[in-house]
Amino acid sequence: MSNSIALDKAIKFALRIVGLYKYLTEAKKEFVLSKQVLLSGTHIAKHVKSALHSRAQNGFSIEMHKALEKALDTELWLLLLHEGEFVSEAQYNSLNEDCVEMIKLTSSISKTSSENEL
0.85 exceeded by pTM: yes
Q: For residue 113, how many other CB atoms are within 10 A of its CB?
A: 18
Which pLDDT band, with edges at 50, 70 and 90, does 1 fall under?
Answer: low
Tell me the per-residue pLDDT of 12-63, one tens digit each, with 9 for 90 and over.
999 999 999 999 999 999 999 999 999 999 999 999 999 999 988 889 999 9
* Residue 64 phi, psi (nearest 5): -70, -35
Tell me the per-residue pLDDT of 60-116, one tens digit each, with 9 for 90 and over.
999 999 999 999 999 999 999 999 999 999 999 999 999 999 999 999 999 998 887
Could you tell me the domains of the chain? 5-117 (1.20.1440.60)
